[in-house]
Amino acid sequence: MSQSLPSDQSQINPSRIGVLLLNLGTPDGTDYWSVRRYLGEFLSDPRVIETPKWLWWPILNLGILTFRPQKSGHAYAQIWDKEKDESPLRVITRDQAEALAQRLAGHGEIMVDFAMRYGNPSTRSVLEKMQAAGCQKILLVPLYPQYSATTTATANDKAFDALRDMRWQPAVRTAPAYFDDPNYVAALGNSIRDGVAALDFEPDLVITSYHGLPQSYVERGDPYERHCRETTRLARGYLGWPEERMMVTFQSRFGPTKWLEPATAETLEALPGKGVKKVAILAPAFSVDCIETLEEIAMQGRDSFMGAGGEKFAYIPCLNASAGGMDMIEAMVRRELAGWI
């Protein structure tokens, strides 16, 4: 019977298991057109912008994509990894994938890679590469601790779009949000504790700044705000700190609609006037450092706080590919692969 098979189908690659880390995305460069392409894809996603397309299209294409790429490109240039000519988000996400592959090397059938929801490497291209390499089972791991339709859901959407076009479709699992995972809480808590201990000052306040979301999205059922506040509550409990030692804020507000509050930028400007002159800040919604943490918080946030009369400001990095962060990712992946390995 094998003699009747087409020549290109006479052999089947050994079955493998794929683990695909999914992150938000990044432009390929800091120039106007690279940033415009990235912003165009990002801001055209109906999961991100729920404004009706007929209303949003002219605002985006005739306004935002004309002027914003230059401003954003300048911001990216401030934090760009010039040696590798890539954004930190892509560099660090690759580091995470490589570190995870080493940790799972004892299972020879596992292939680990990473992809971006917007930009490169695209989710479609990496899934196709995995399928061609014989991955008949794939675990999708959106690297967003707190669930939102604008992050976890759209990352999975993009993967499902690619899978829909495959004739030989692999079995797929998706890892859940991990905002309250004990391993994540411990990794985050240890990162905060170690970050504060390494400072040359004692913060009056530690701020957990999460990426913002329009208030209307939460009112429609998005659990993101609850997840963010629960992450901070659990981390604070892990550290044994009183409630007043750590607060929640939301950053990256965009457009005229009402967003989650309190706003990070406004909070940083107001704190010195209230006698809070020394702060440490971190961004638990991000699995890796990126423009929203390295430029918006560590640079712009510092300038705003110090300009308003602050005395000491420190940014505590994301978990990135640190040992603690990778311990958490490895534990989550091994749990979600149960029954496959």
From the annotation, which residues make up the binding site for Fe(2+)? 211, 292
Question: Mapping DSSP to helix (H, G, I), strand (E, B) and coil, where does residue 35 land?
Answer: helix
List C-alpha distances in Å: 279 to 95, 201, 235.
Answer: 29, 9, 17
Q: Which strand ranges, in their side-by-side order, compose the sheet holding 246-251?
A: 246-251, 205-211, 278-282, 312-315
Task: Point out the annotated binding site.
Answer: 211, 292
How far is it, in rounded angstroms, from Cα 90 to Cα 141?
Answer: 16
Query: Amino acid identity of 333?
Result: V
The tokens describing 157, both together, are 């959407």
Of 219, 188, 220, nearest to 206 by C-alpha is 188
How far is it, in rounded angstroms, from Cα 252 to Cα 230?
Answer: 20
Of 233, 227, 296, nearest to 268 by C-alpha is 296
Q: Are 333 and 19 in contact (CB under 8 A)?
A: yes
- What does the buried/exposed string (b/e) look like for 39-60 if buried means 16 or more CB atoms within 10 Å of the residue's CB? bebbbbeebbbeeeeeebeeeb
Q: What is the largest CA-CA distance in the chain?
A: 82
The tokens describing 120, both together, are 């490169």
